[in-house]
């Protein structure tokens, strides 16, 4: 629609109709017969309001969305189509690894492809907007939503943020794209103690340097929407936070798109204690330019009286509605309210062999080989007798909490993956133990006692499984344990204070490892777990995240050597939960471990744990041995007009081709404020054929050295810098240069 027609449309709306555009309700309000009395009653709104609502939450499926749209438009005076928004986080029907796994690919270009598949599949199913990417930087593995983040580093997260938005929005053609809603703005990943929905309080410097870059990257890439986060920042909940929403997002970054509250976050301003009632909450949110109220009756009931009583100007409403109408127009909904929803397209686009193939590739790059003592892996197929055991050994729950449209029956289990490599006489499999000792928490998700008792292994079954597994293990050469968290132990509201493997699995693991066989542990989890004991016991460990639809294939591809693992952690794995928050780019402190002035006890350390990570940021093994030598700089000085070239020789000393992620870190030695011990500034994924070497070069520019100085200017300061290159954040070679 032309801009002048859109303007005319806006001008033709009554105040109530305008407000409708700013309300989002869930799909249950739009039941086919239109009379979803239950949810309306709960929210205290009537059918008239429902009929004017501008967008729908979490309804997908071509036929369903089309029918809702058709009925809605049939009853609508102004004929403004509904927007369908949904959580399509890391795959619609073809499920990719969880974003923490995607982070471990260090391959934004590949992840962009995954997100365009996600967009293609879900556009066929009638979605217009996805609430992705989630780009919250996270340093605390207790937080369940680590699962949705690409990790702990601002630079790497920003790269993925751009890639994901590009993948989702593409060229914005109806059949290839959705509108992207970046979330949760801002700093939602920094909740105190890793506790869900908890307070966030940090300096503006830290906010800008570490937490904001990934959101800004999404906005710069053209993300059409931004979702506010549940947390406070500096005492003000984000949904009513003018500093974040107006000063930074709208004014500094020039964001003209739609801001939507997170689920019920406007009303939660009351529980936060900054609004006395719905009316005050509404006023705070709209004044902060939160355009859409997700899932409360605040805007529906309070905006009109606020305008009529002169407490807010109608102009605020007009501006918000204009942004919503623009979005609908950008999506082409006025011309075609169904966009590209079609049953036929669903039949053709979902879970195609090509999509599966991509998922398998992405997953292979996401898996991280954490340990491989005596080069146990890869295993030669049909040579050793293998016992595949553990609650995930033949379990289709490999897609994780936020893959709501994925289907278990599509998922390749680890057993199925193994079967493609092994003749039956070389493979035995059994669960061996239960996933958890107690499933009572499922009651919170509506499971009845009966259902829980069906899920849980009976005592007799536990005994039988242990006996069976022990007998099979005695007969095996190698035991592959597939273990990890329950799907519901990570994701939203999945904060934990104990992030080890569930006790029942640890006990089982101890029983079987006592047999002295060769052992491999495949870890399924939505977060970095504490794997300290396992790293002592196991020969090999593969971090497999929730690997998605093609998980079983990708895991088997690595175990049997078809793929040489290349994943690198994008989040540190701690020795113990007590180290959290843990991240590689910390400050030195006045008394670092290697302090020259203090010794013994009085340095910054724990007396019962190392400071560093068990498996650090950037870490991951392959089946090859790669050596870094000859780091050289083109000059000892960097000037405004003369960038530096840093190069290093990377040599693959193995008889097998490999992919190495060459990582470059910089440390500003003396600043006007303290600077991190090192910061990732560049990386390259390079392919090295067997027994070959390559010189890898990076250009260092002055811009790479910018930071928020003492005066809060994003600036550079002259002086000495360390430059590090290596295969992870710990094992690096150092050089130094001066910025003149």
Sign of CA dihedral 309, 23, 199, 618: negative
Binding track over 3-42 against ligand BGC, x by CB under 6 A: ----------------------------------------
Shortest CB 611 distance to ligand BGC, Å:
33
Task: For residue 293, state whether it binds ligand BGC (rule: CB under 6 A).
Answer: no
Beta carbon nearer to ligand BGC, 178 or 732: 178
Task: For residue 58, state whether it binds ligand BGC (rule: CB under 6 A).
Answer: yes
Q: Which of 331, 329, 271, 276 is nearest to 302 (CA)?
A: 276
Residue choice 18, 120, 183, 361 for contact with ligand BGC (CB under 6 A): 183
The distance from CA 458 to its chain's CA centroid, rounded to whole angstroms, is 35
Phi, psi at 302, each rounded to 5°:
-105, -25
**Exposure class string for 547-575: b at 16+ Cβ within 10 A, else e:** bbbbbbbbbbbbbbbebbbbbbbbbbbbb
529-558 positions binding ligand BGC, by CB under 6 A: none
CA angle 291, 256, 284 (to 5 degrees): 35
Shortest CB 560 distance to ligand BGC, Å:
37
Residue choice 220, 311, 492, 511 for contact with ligand BGC (CB under 6 A): 492
Q: Which of 131, 560, 608, 123 is nearest to 377 (CA)?
A: 560
Q: Mapping DSSP to helix (H, G, I), strand (E, B) and coil, where does residue 422 land?
A: coil
Shortest CB 215 distance to ligand BGC, Å:
14
Q: How many residues bind to ligand BGC according to rule CB under 6 A?
A: 7
Strands 179-185 and 129-130: parallel
Task: For residue 180, state whether it binds ligand BGC (rule: CB under 6 A).
Answer: no
E strand or H helix that includes residue 609: none
Neighbouring C-beta atoms of residue 585, cutoff 10 Å: 21
Shortest CB 178 distance to ligand BGC, Å:
14
User: 386 CB contacts (<8 Å, ≥6 apart)?
Assistant: 379, 418, 422, 426, 427, 428, 476, 477, 478, 479, 480
Where are the extended beta strands (E) located within 118-185?
129-130, 179-185
Shortest CB 27 distance to ligand BGC, Å:
11
Beta carbon nearer to ligand BGC, 58 or 363: 58
Shortest CB 58 distance to ligand BGC, Å:
6
Beta carbon nearer to ligand BGC, 298 or 530: 298
59-98 positions binding ligand BGC, by CB under 6 A: 87
Shortest CB 87 distance to ligand BGC, Å:
5
Q: Let me know if 318 is a catalytic residue.
A: no
Binding track over 249-278 against ligand BGC, x by CB under 6 A: -------------xx---------------
Beta carbon nearer to ligand BGC, 268 or 679: 268
Beta carbon nearer to ligand BGC, 196 or 557: 196
DSSP class of 398: -
Q: What is the dihedral of CA 126, 129, 132, 136, to 10 degrees?
A: -150
Task: For residue 131, state whether it binds ligand BGC (rule: CB under 6 A).
Answer: yes
639-678 positions binding ligand BGC, by CB under 6 A: none
Shortest CB 239 distance to ligand BGC, Å:
12
Beta carbon nearer to ligand BGC, 165 or 435: 165
Q: Which of 72, 33, 18, 56 is nearest to 300 (CA)?
A: 18
Shortest CB 131 distance to ligand BGC, Å:
4
Sign of CA dihedral 483, 489, 495, 496: negative
Q: Rounded distance, CA 477 to CA 386, Å? A: 6
- What are the strands of the beta sheet with 626-633, ordered from one edge? 626-633, 644-652, 693-700
Beta carbon nearer to ligand BGC, 59 or 412: 59
Q: Rounded distance, CA 413 to CA 398, Å? A: 8
Task: For residue 365, state whether it binds ligand BGC (rule: CB under 6 A).
Answer: no
Query: Catalytic: which of 87, 136, 262, 278?
Result: 262
Q: Which of 135, 150, 161, 129 is nearest to 258 (CA)?
A: 129
Beta carbon nearer to ligand BGC, 199 or 693: 199
DSSP class of 437: S
Q: Give the gyration radius of the chain's Cα atoms.
A: 27
Beta carbon nearer to ligand BGC, 87 or 349: 87
Active-site amino acid positions: 262
**Interface with ligand BGC (CB under 6 A):** 58, 87, 131, 183, 262-263, 492
């Amino acid at each position: 629609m032309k801009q002048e027609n859109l303007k005319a449309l806006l001008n033709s709306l009554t105040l109530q109709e305008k407000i409708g555009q700013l309300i989002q309700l869930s799909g249950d309000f739009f039941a086919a017969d239109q009379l979803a009395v239950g949810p309306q009653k709960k929210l205290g709104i009537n059918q008239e309001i429902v009929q004017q609502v501008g967008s729908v939450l979490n309804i997908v499926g071509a036929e369903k969305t089309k029918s809702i749209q058709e009925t809605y438009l049939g009853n609508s005076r102004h004929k403004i189509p509904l927007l369908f928004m949904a959580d399509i986080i890391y795959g619609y029907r073809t499920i990719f690894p969880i974003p923490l796994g995607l982070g471990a690919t260090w391959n934004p270009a590949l992840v962009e492809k995954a997100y365009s598949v996600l967009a293609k599949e879900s556009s066929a199913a009638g979605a217009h907007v996805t609430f992705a990417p989630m780009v919250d930087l996270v340093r605390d593995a207790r937080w369940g939503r680590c699962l949705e983040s690409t990790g702990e580093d601002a630079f790497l997260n920003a790269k993925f943020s751009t890639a994901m938005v590009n993948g989702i929005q593409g060229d914005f053609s109806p059949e290839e794209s959705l509108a992207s809603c970046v979330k949760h703005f801002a700093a939602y990943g920094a909740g105190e103690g890793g506790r869900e929905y908890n307070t966030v309080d940090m300096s503006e410097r830290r906010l800008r340097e570490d937490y904001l870059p990934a959101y800004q990257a999404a906005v710069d890439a053209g993300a059409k929407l931004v979702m506010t986060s549940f947390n406070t920042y500096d005492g003000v909940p984000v949904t009513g936070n003018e500093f974040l929403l107006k000063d930074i997002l709208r004014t500094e970054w020039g964001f003209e798109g739609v801001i939507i509250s997170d689920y019920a976050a406007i009303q939660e301003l009351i529980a936060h204690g900054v609004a006395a009632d719905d009316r005050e909450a509404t006023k705070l949110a709209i004044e902060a330019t939160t355009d859409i109220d997700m899932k409360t009756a605040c805007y529906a009931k309070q905006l009109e009286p606020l305008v009529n009583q002169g407490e807010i100007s109608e102009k605020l409403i007009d501006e918000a509605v204009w942004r919503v109408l623009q979005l609908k127009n950008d999506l082409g909904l006025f011309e075609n309210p169904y966009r590209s929803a079609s049953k036929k397209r669903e039949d053709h686009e979902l879970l195609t062999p090509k999509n599966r193939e991509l998922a398998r590739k992405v997953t292979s790059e996401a898996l991280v080989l954490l340990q491989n003592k005596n080069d146990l892996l890869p295993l030669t197929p049909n040579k050793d007798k293998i016992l595949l055991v553990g609650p995930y050994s033949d379990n289709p729950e490999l897609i994780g909490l936020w893959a709501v449209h994925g289907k278990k029956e599509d998922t390749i289990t680890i057993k199925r993956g193994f079967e493609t490599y092994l003749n039956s006489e070389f493979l035995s499999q059994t669960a061996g133990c239960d996933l958890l000792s107690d499933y009572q928490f499922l009651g919170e998700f509506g499971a009845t006692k009966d259902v829980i008792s069906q899920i849980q292994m009976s005592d007799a079954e536990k005994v039988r499984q242990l006996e069976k597994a022990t007998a099979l293990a005695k007969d095996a050469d190698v035991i592959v344990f597939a273990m990890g968290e329950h799907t519901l132990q990570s994701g939203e509201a999945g904060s934990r204070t104990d992030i080890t493997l569930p006790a029942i699995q640890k006990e089982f693991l101890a029983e079987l490892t006592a047999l002295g066989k060769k052992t491999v542990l495949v870890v399924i989890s939505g977060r970095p777990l504490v794997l300290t004991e396992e790293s002592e016991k196991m020969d090999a460990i593969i971090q497999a995240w929730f690997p998605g639809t093609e998980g079983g294939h990708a895991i088997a591809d690595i175990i049997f050597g078809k793929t040489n693992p290349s994943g690198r952690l994008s989040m540190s794995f701690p020795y113990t939960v007590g180290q959290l928050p843990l991240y590689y780019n910390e400050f030195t402190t006045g008394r670092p471990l290697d302090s020259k002035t203090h010794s013994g006890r009085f340095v910054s350390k724990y007396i019962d744990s190392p400071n560093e990570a068990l498996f650090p940021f950037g870490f991951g093994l392959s089946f090859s041995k790669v050596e870094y030598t000859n780091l050289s700089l083109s000059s000892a000085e960097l000037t405004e007009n003369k960038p530096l070239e840093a190069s290093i020789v990377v040599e693959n000393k193995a008889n097998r081709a490999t992919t190495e992620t060459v990582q470059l870190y910089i440390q500003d030695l003396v600043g006007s404020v303290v600077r991190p011990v090192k910061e990732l500034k560049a990386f390259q994924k390079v392919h090295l054929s067997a027994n070959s070497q390559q010189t890898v070069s990076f250009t260092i520019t002055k811009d790479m050295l910018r930071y928020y100085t003492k005066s809060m200017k994003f600036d550079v300061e002259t002086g000495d810098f360390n430059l590090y290159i290596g295969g992870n954040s710990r094992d690096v070679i150092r050089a130094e240069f001066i910025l003149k």
